[in-house]
Structure 1
Amino acid sequence: MLAAIGLDERQEAAYRVLVALGAAEVADLAHRLALPEAEAERALRRLESHGLAARSSSRPGRWVAAEPSVALGALLTRQRGELERAELVAAALAATYRAEAAEPAVHDLVEVVLGASAVAHRSRQLRLGAAAEVCALVRGVPVGEPVAGVAYRTVVEREALSLPGGTGALSAALGEGRPARVADRVPAGLVVVDGALAMVELTGRDAEPAALVVHPSLLLESLVALFEAVWREALPLRLGADGTLGVEAAPGPDATDLEILSLLLAGLTDASIAKQLDLGLRTVQRRVRGLMELAGVTTRLQLGWHAHERGWVTRS
Structure 2
Amino acid sequence: MSSQNVPKSGSVAELGEFGLIRAVTENRRQPETTLLGPGDDAAVVAAGDGRVVASTDVLVQGVHFRLDWSTPDQIGRKAVAVNLADIAAMGAVPTAVLVGLACPAETTADLVKGITDGMWAEASAAGAGVVGGDVVQADQLVLSITALGDLRGRQPVTRSGARPGDIVAVSGRLGWAAAGLAVLHRGFRSPVTVANAQRYPEPVYAAGPAAAEAGATAMIDISDGLLADLGHIAEQSEVGIDIRVDRLDVNRRLVEVGTALGADPLSWVLTGGEDHALAATFPPFAELPEGWRRIGAVTMPDSGVTVDGKPYVEEPGWEHWR
Q: TM (normalized to structure 2)?
A: 0.26
> Which of structures 1 and 2 has the larger relative contact order (alpha carbons within 8 angstroms, sep 6+)?
2
